Amino acid sequence: MTSRNRLKSKLLSGERALGVWVMTGAVPNAEILAHAGYDFVVIDHEHGAGDTHDVFAMLRAVDAADGEAVVRIGWNDQTLLKRVLDAGARSIMVPMVETAEEAAAAAASCLYPPRGRRGYAASAVRASNYGTVPGYAHAAADELLLIVQIETAEAVANAGAIAAVDGVDMVFIGINDLGASIGRLEQLDHPDVLALAAQAEDAIKASGKLMGTVPSPGRDPGVLAGKGFHMVASAADVSLLRDGARAELTQWADAFPRVRPAPSTKKGAGY
């Protein structure tokens, strides 16, 4: 694995990054999408399939394809964070952060003392190439990209304080759960949801921290780039496979009439 976090460097240089989700836990999918040229591949272990062994394998696959991976853990948990960091993840996404205290706990779990409380095993883990990278423990913080997700109305109210936490590099707006938190599940273009998202955007921009999100109706990656988002995690392996299959079935429907009805074309935002 490389020691430099090229995604973090790209973002801090002012460039934008477009990425893709891997929800299936399938190692080849992570490798294929990295080869395709996305700026980053999100290895999703909140809603996606797989376990810690799969994180190892997908990180290796993305590295082999000369890509950059972001690992979304299942929860803001010190043990989960420690394990994926030791596995070699340099970019971490933490879901459902609602307060500055929760953001600070995530940062502390990712940073070695004296800045944090990350447990030490640097001489024996993949993150240091199994002890062959001199000074890994002292340089790890420089290469860490810590992304915290705000996904509720409470989190939006605290967005400025969350963004201000030392060690947090990016605040990522999870608009799907944001809408659900105010009783607007799957109503992503509802004025109340858009107003809440705009409130979060204003607070993050004022903090000077990086800002990310997923697309939603009327807010495709191009629109989001124009609104000042630095990072957009767009499609997923599931949606790319599903939509590609549907497109081929539609293309050849006359030549190969189908016996069963065509599936629904309704798609969720972001995935």
Q: Under 8 Å CB-to-CB from 229, ≥6 apart: which residues?
A: 16, 211, 212, 213
Q: Which residue type occupies 10?
A: K
CB 251 within 8 A of CB 260: no
Chain centroid to CA 197: 18
What are the tokens at 221? 């990656």
Would you state the torsion angle of the CA atoms of residues 135, 140, 143, 144, taken in this order, to the nearest 10 degrees?
180
Catalytic residues, by residue number, are 47
CA triple 35-41-43, angle to 5 deg: 130
- Helices 27-36, 237-251: crossing angle, 10 deg rounding: 80
Side-chain-side CA neighbours of residue 185 (13 Å): 0
Helix (H, G, I), strand (E, B) or coil at 93: strand
